Each structure stands twice: as C-alpha cells, then as structure tokens.
C-alpha cells in the first residue's frame, strides 16, 4: 500500500500541474483576447454625471433639506421646562416626539445624499486643462475620494444622538432631568458644527455645476433673508436654554444637595426657593443678596420657560428676542458678572455684525441684479439727451429718437438679441433663426421653392430691426439696400410711377408680408451692375413695426444658388412681385378702356346702318314715322358718342404717358443648368 507521504506527494504534483495549466490559459487569453460576443464582464454599476440636470436638481433639494435640518435642531433646546408650582425641572414630552420626528425626516435626505456620493463620478482638476475634463467613473476611485474628504463629517452629522437621548435613554433609564438636559445640550451643540459644515460642499457643488442656487433674484434675496432669520431662531433657542439654566443655578445656590427634579419637592423647599430666587429687575438690585439674572430676566419674567406656556408663544417670543438683539448688535443687553453670560452677549454682538453685513451685501447684490438693465437704460438715455442737446437737434427729431429708444426697451428689455444668439453654437443658432423666420421667408414666392439648405442660409442672415410709428422705411427713387419681412405691425406702400401727375397706387402690408422685393430682380440678374436697385414705392409704417432684414449682399450671395431651380419655376415666381402686379393692373385697365371704345364705335355703326335702311325704304316725299324715330335716336347717339370720344381721347392722351413701362426681366437662360 502507498504510504500517506506518497499520497500527499501525488496530490501536490496534481495541484502543481493544474496551477501550471491555469497560468498557461491566462497567458493565451492575454495574447488572444475574446471577441465582443464572447466577453462576459460583470455589469458595472451606473455612475451619475455630476453635471447632469437630474443630479443638479437633487443637489438643490439636498441644500434646502440641510438648511431646514439645522433649523430643526434648536427645537431640542425648548424641551427643558420649569414647573413653577413645584419649582422643579421637567422635560416637555410632546416636543420631544415632534423634534425627533422632524430631525429624522430631514436626515433621511442626507442619507440619500451619502448614497449618491458613492455613485457620482468626479472630474479631476488635472483633466480640466482643456474643456470640461474627463469624468472618472471607477467606483473604487469614487469611494476612495469620498471616504478621504467629507465622509466623516457626513456620518457625524446624521448620528441620531438627540433622538436617542429623549426617546430611549431618558424614558427607559429614568435619568435625572438635569443629566438629560446636559446630554441634550452638548449633543446638539457638538453635532451642530458638522451639520453646518456639510452645507458648504453642497452649496459649492451646486454653484459650480449650475452657476446659481436660485433661478430668480427674488428667490435669492428670500434665501439670504431666511438664513438671517435662522440665525435669530438659533440665538433665541439658546437664550431660552440658558435662561432655564440661570434659574436652576439660582436654586442650586440656595438649596445645595437637594434633588430639584419634579416629584421630590417639599413645601419647605418650594417656599425657600420662592423667597431666595424671586425675580428682581437688574436695575432695581440694591444688595448682593438678590440674584442678578442679567439678560435672562426677560425670559423668566415673561414666563416663557414655564411648562404651562404653550409652545407657539414660547417660540415666537424667543425668536423675536434673537432677531431684535442680532439686528441691534446686542446694544441693549445688560449682563451680570457671570462669565458665560458675558461671553454669550459678546458672541451675539460679533455674530450680529457679521450676519447683518452679509445680509445687506447679498440683498443689495440680488436686488441690484433686477434693476441693472434699467440703470443701463437710464444711463443710455441720459447720454442720448446730452448728445441731442450738444448737436442742437430739433424737437421733432428728439421725439423720434426718444420714441425709438422707448419702443426698443419695451421689445427686448435691454437684452441684446443678436449678441445672445451669436454666442450660441452654430446648430442652435440655425434652429433658432429657422423657428423665428422660416414662416415669413417661405411667403415670398421665389423662396418657397427653395430647398432646406437655402432656406436655412437665408434665415441665418436675417437681422432683427425695429421701426417706430410713421417711420419711412423706403422712399421712391432711393436705392434699396435691404429686404424686410414684417413680423409685427402694419405698413403702407405708395407708388406714383416716378412722380407723374395723376398716377397713384397704394397697398397695406401687415404681419407676414414683405417689402423691398426690387432686390430680387437685381440679385437674380447675372448681368446686373454693382449699383443697388431703385425703389419703386414709398414704404411708411402705420404702427410700430418689428421685422427681419435681409441685406443686399446676403441676398446676392443666396441668389447665386438659384441655379438649382428651373427657369420656368423662376419666371413664374418672379412675376409675382408687386412691380409686375402694378404694371399688369395698369395694362389691364388701359386694355379695358380700349375695349369699351371699340364697342361704342361698333354700336354707332349699327345705328348708322339702321338709319340708312329707313331712309332707303321711304318714298322720298315725306319721312315716315319709323325714319323719324331712327333719325332722332341716331342724332342722340351721335351726340353722346361724340362727347364720349372726346372724353376718351383726352383720357387716353393722359393715360398713355402714365402707363408704367414694363419692368426689366432678367436673362433666365443663364440660370439654366
């Protein structure tokens, strides 16, 4: 039989062989990696982007919950109360439960914040040399970074020490109320520091990712005012607790070694405390036997520390005391010689000075942000008034300038629209311009047949313009340097065909219309000169007009792309212009008059033929009755036609020179493919 040693030796050789095979297999896998379909990696946990909108919203919620949490902690200071009948210390039961529930509720939000910290990536500063930086999504690196930074502070801030003291230790262990009060005071004060410190990284993260904590200036001012009121609440609650301790200190000085908890009082002790710890105004103290309560006299004298006082009255009185003394920097505080009381008064003075300075500065910053554009507009108007006075402009020009500035302010409230759009990415600029201008551009017959790229090119080159009431946009006979697409308002267009007497044509244009179409002929004609076309109409605004302008150079550049269209489509669209419509209307009017003239001449010839037939049928002696009737009709018609012909001839002589010449038509054959 093989010995035990030999069996162990054979097992060892097999283990070594199997381990060697595993090593070889790992080398092969490293040299020949598996394909994507063969790889079976464990799924990585989802890592949150710190700059995502979802996480930014949650961070704002966490900031608000942390601020509310530190506002709940001072309510634990109101739990100790004085039983004035038995002269003893007691703890308020309902307030213990309420404060514990609210503190636990807000701490749940920060527990969720801690979970988020382990699942939120970070961008190392070394990767921010260019651009946004590279997001680190390694869970190990994220956990290591968080554990080395604020993890300890976060854990210390959410430990439920006050809840354990008031809900577990004091009821179950039947501890002395004095011990419970001291434990409660020190636990809240010790934890208050990390609970305040945890707000700083949260606030820093929110402002770093989104730039602001509040969206509006009013919300920002309200937030800073709330922080000031929160400080008043904390000071008032601590003043309440120190007032309770001040009376307990007086009791201990008078009756040393006596249990001051409720239930163990004797009538002798109560009488002694009433006599020795009577409330005396600090200004009325004449001897050293009377106990000086100092700044805590108001709390004891008003009875807010008594167990019979309801909580709302107690809370608002202490809050008012804290707000009043923080705002006055503690100037009205009259302290005793007790050292902690003096230190507390000094703290109120310094803390109030710092908080009041921060409040004024932040409130001024937020309130000024709402009026900064109004101030800029006021300065701009003041400069304009000085310039107009210096140049001695007439009053009508001054009024027009003031009207334009006022209308521009009403439209954009001081926002430079072009500068705002210019700073955006190219695709975003294109989409914005398309949304604003496309509906206006495609109403031009020539533009509606364009493809998407050409329409985007036109919309991108449009610039917003404003015109006040009764402004003259184009004047007949002046060069046309832009084409307008009306967005709001109403304009009138008038043409006199070069100022000829008796010719007048008018038209009203409203939102969605366009004018300055003379540029289209100039831009489409490949043989046109560099001189701008002449306006055939006078365009004036009837009301305030907001429009988009397409400059001549931009239109020329876009028109060069019209080679993509067939000449028939272009000719059909080209003849939809107002110039062609005006010429066509005048041409039809002249043709209509010529038609009526020829019709009248034919009618006269018919009457003459009827008269001749009547005269021919007569016997020559005496005119018959029929011939007489025809003769009278012929004479009347001849007289009427003579007058009509004279009037028509005079009008025709006037109309022929007034008929506008046929508009110039570009050579469309050069635009063919």
**What is the tens place of the pLDDT at every residue in 118-141?**
887 777 666 655 555 677 777 788
pLDDT bin (cut points 50, 70, 90) of residue 607 is low
pLDDT bin (cut points 50, 70, 90) of residue 47 is confident
3-state secondary structure 295-340: HHHHHHHHCCCECCCCHHHHHHHHHHHHHHHHHCCCCCCCCCCCHH
632, pLDDT greater than 70: no
Say if residues 521 and 583 touch (Cβ distance below 8 Å): no
pLDDT of residue 583: 60
Cα of first residue to Cα of last residue in the chain, in angstroms, is 103
pLDDT of residue 427: 82
pLDDT of residue 656: 46
pLDDT bin (cut points 50, 70, 90) of residue 277 is confident
71, pLDDT greater than 70: yes
491, pLDDT greater than 70: yes
Q: How far apart are CA 73 and CA 163, in angstroms?
A: 11
How many CA atoms lie within 13 Å of 621's alpha carbon, on the beta-carbon side?
Answer: 1
Q: How far apart are CA 15 and CA 7, in angstroms?
A: 12
pLDDT of residue 496: 72
pLDDT of residue 655: 46
Say if residues 103 and 163 touch (Cβ distance below 8 Å): yes
93-118 vs 53-72: helix crossing angle, rounded to 10? 150
672, pLDDT greater than 80: no
Mean pLDDT, rounded, for 487-499:
78
Mean pLDDT, rounded, for 587-593:
72
Supply φ then ψ for residue 389, to 5 degrees.
Answer: -70, -40
pLDDT of residue 221: 73
Q: How far apart are CA 422 and CA 364, in angstroms?
A: 31
Least confident of 48-62, 72-86, 401-415, 621-635: 621-635
pLDDT of residue 130: 55
Say if residues 119 and 88 touch (Cβ distance below 8 Å): no
144, pLDDT greater than 60: yes
- What is the chain's mean pLDDT, rounded? 74
Say if residues 100 and 167 touch (Cβ distance below 8 Å): yes
Least confident of 6-10, 99-103, 165-169, 539-543: 6-10
pLDDT bin (cut points 50, 70, 90) of residue 571 is very low
Mean pLDDT, rounded, for 560-568:
54
Burial 521-558 (b: 16+ CB within 10 A, else e): bbbbbeeeeeebbebbbbbbbeebbbbbbbebebbeeb
Supply φ then ψ for residue 527, to 5 degrees.
Answer: -100, 10
Q: How far apart are CA 182 and CA 191, in angstroms?
A: 14
Mean pLDDT comparison of 83-87, 299-303, 529-533, highest-scoring range: 299-303
Mean pLDDT, rounded, for 69-84:
86
Q: In terms of Cα–Cα distance, which of 272, 244, 278, 242 is closest to 258?
A: 272
């Amino acid at each position: 039989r093989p010995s035990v040693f030999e069996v162990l030796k054979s097992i060892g050789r097999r283990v070594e062989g199997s381990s060697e095979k595993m090593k070889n297999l790992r080398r092969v896998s490293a040299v020949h990696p598996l394909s994507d379909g063969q790889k079976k990696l464990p799924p990585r946990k989802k890592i949150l982007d710190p700059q995502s909108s979802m996480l930014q919203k949650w961070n704002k919620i966490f900031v608000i919950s942390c601020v509310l949490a530190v506002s709940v902690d001072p309510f634990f200071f109101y739990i100790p109360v004085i039983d004035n009948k038995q002269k003893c210390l007691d703890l308020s039961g309902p307030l213990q439960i309420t404060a514990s529930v609210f503190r636990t509720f807000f701490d749940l939000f920060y527990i969720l914040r801690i979970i988020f910290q382990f699942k939120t990536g970070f961008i190392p500063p070394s990767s921010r040399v260019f651009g946004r930086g590279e997001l680190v999504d390694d869970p190990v690196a994220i956990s290591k970074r968080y554990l080395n930074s604020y993890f300890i502070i976060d854990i210390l801030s959410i430990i439920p020490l006050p809840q354990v003291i008031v809900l577990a230790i004091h009821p179950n262990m039947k501890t002395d109320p004095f011990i419970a009060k001291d434990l409660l005071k020190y636990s809240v004060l010790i934890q208050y520091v990390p609970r305040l410190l945890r707000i700083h990284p949260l606030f820093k993260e929110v402002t770093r990712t989104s730039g602001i904590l509040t969206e509006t200036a009013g919300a920002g001012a309200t937030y800073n005012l709330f922080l000031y009121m929160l400080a008043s609440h904390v000071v008032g609650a601590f003043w309440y607790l120190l007032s309770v301790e001040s009376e307990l200190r007086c009791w201990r000085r008078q009756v040393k070694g006596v249990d001051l908890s409720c239930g163990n009082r004797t009538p002798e002790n109560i009488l002694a405390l009433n006599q020795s710890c009577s409330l005396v105004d600090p200004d009325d103290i004449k001897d050293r036997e009377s106990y000086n309560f100092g700044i805590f006299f108001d709390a004891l004298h008003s009875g807010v520390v008594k167990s019979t006082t309801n909580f709302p009255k107690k809370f608002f009185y202490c809050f008012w005391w804290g707000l009043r003394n923080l705002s006055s920097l503690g100037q009205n505080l009259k302290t005793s010689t007790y050292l902690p009381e003096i230190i507390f008064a000094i703290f109120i003075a310094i803390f109030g000075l710092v908080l009041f300075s921060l409040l004024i500065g932040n409130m001024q910053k937020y309130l000024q942000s709402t009026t900064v554009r109004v101030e800029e507009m006021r300065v701009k108007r003041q400069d304009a008034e000085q310039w107009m006075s210096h140049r001695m402009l007439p009053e009508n020009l001054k009024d027009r300038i003031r009207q334009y500035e006022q209308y521009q302010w009403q439209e954009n409230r001081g926002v430079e629209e072009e500068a705002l759009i210019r700073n955006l990415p190219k695709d975003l600029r294109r989409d914005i311009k398309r949304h604003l201008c496309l509906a206006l551009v495609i109403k031009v017959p020539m533009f509606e047949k364009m493809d998407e790229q050409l329409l985007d090119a036109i919309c991108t080159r449009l610039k917003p313009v404003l015109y006040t009431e009764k402004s003259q946009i184009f004047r007949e006979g002046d060069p046309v340097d832009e084409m307008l697409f009306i967005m709001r308002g109403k304009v009138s267009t008038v043409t006199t065909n070069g100022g000829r007497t008796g010719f007048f044509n008018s038209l009203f244009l409203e939102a969605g219309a366009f004018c300055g179409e003379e540029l289209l002929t100039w831009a489409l004609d490949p043989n046109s000169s560099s001189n701008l076309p002449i306006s055939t109409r006078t365009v004036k605004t009837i009301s305030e007009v907001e429009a988009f302008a397409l400059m001549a150079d931009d239109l020329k550049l876009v028109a060069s792309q019209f080679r993509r269209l067939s000449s028939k489509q272009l000719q059909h669209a080209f003849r939809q212009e107002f110039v062609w419509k005006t010429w066509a209307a005048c041409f039809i009017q002249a043709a209509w008059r010529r038609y009526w003239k020829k019709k009248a001449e034919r009618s006269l010839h018919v009457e003459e033929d009827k008269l001749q037939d009547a005269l021919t049928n007569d016997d020559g002696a005496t005119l018959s009755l029929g011939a007489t009737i025809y003769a009278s009709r012929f004479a009347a018609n001849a007289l009427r036609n003579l007058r009509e012909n004279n009037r028509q001839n005079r009008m025709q002589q006037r109309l022929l020179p007034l008929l506008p010449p046929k508009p110039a038509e570009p050579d469309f054959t050069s635009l063919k493919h």
